A and B are shown apart, each in its own frame.
Chain A
């Protein structure tokens, strides 16, 4: 038996919103420790990894590990039937899970709705992602990162990210001209959500597709801050941390000529 009840149901809506543009089908891997998801986009150059700890649910019950194969478009349609303040419970039979039960309860418990989502077999590649010491780790307001991606898309479909000890610079070059945004580290003790920090082992300069990066910024509502981790010749890591876990996006850099 699998059961996971999330008091803050709106979080599940936001999470789905942050994944569904990148991936259409995905396995939710359920275990004693929580729920995780790893999936790549069609071209296999971007990867999303989601982790939700069991402690974030009340209650959480999972007797043995199993996977829920879900079409995210279908799940999204059903999730639209949940109110923003609803408590959401996910239920499935772990021995023969061919459907996922979703229970939406309003705060006064007067209205309960129940939906069953048909599950599917999804045969997906699963990559092992090692813990990495990145050359550069940047924390910045998530809304700022979203704005930079949106603004620079006016100029080009690619952005070069340069990180040095005292600034992170985003540069775009296109047919109409060029644009860049530079941010310096700031620490605002009274407003930590607005601070920018740079941890640097060595300077990095990497180019990425803005289409993917702006897709990743769908995670913005999940966290005030975003973490960007860069190393030469490695995929960029974009992480949004939540109380209950995290969502991590990886993107292969543009290489060659």
Chain B
């Protein structure tokens, strides 16, 4: 099944 990756993998931590 296809799944979603956590946002922090796309956008860096401030």
Contact = CB atoms under 8 A, between A and B. Distances in A.
A125 interface: yes
Given A128-B12, A129-B11, A257 B2 contact: yes
A254 B11 contact: no
A234 B10 contact: yes
Nearest to B2: A254
A234 B4 CA distance: 11
Nearest to A127: B11
A108 to B, nearest CB: 45
A256 interface: yes
Contacts of B5: 45, 252, 255
A126 interface: yes
Given A126-B13, A126-B14, A127-B12, A235 B7 contact: yes
A127 B13 CA distance: 5
A252 B2 contact: no
Contacts of B7: 40, 44-47, 127, 235, 250, 252
A44 B2 contact: no
Interface residues of B, number: 14
A90 to B, nearest CB: 24
Contacts of A128: 11-14
Interface string A117-135: 0000000011111100000
A69 interface: no
B11 to A, nearest CB: 4
Contacts of A137: none
Nearest to A41: B7
Contact of A256 (B3, B9, B10): B3
Contacts of A257: 1-2
Given A126-B14, A127-B14, A209 B4 contact: yes
Chain A to chain B: the 10 pairs with minimum beta-carbon distance, closest first: A254-B2, A127-B11, A45-B4, A252-B4, A126-B14, A44-B6, A128-B14, A47-B7, A129-B11, A252-B5
Interface of A: 40, 43-47, 125-130, 158, 207, 209, 234-235, 250-257
15 contacts: A44-B6, A45-B5, A47-B7, A125-B8, A127-B7, A127-B13, A128-B13, A207-B2, A252-B7, A252-B9, A253-B4, A255-B2, A255-B4, A256-B2, A256-B3
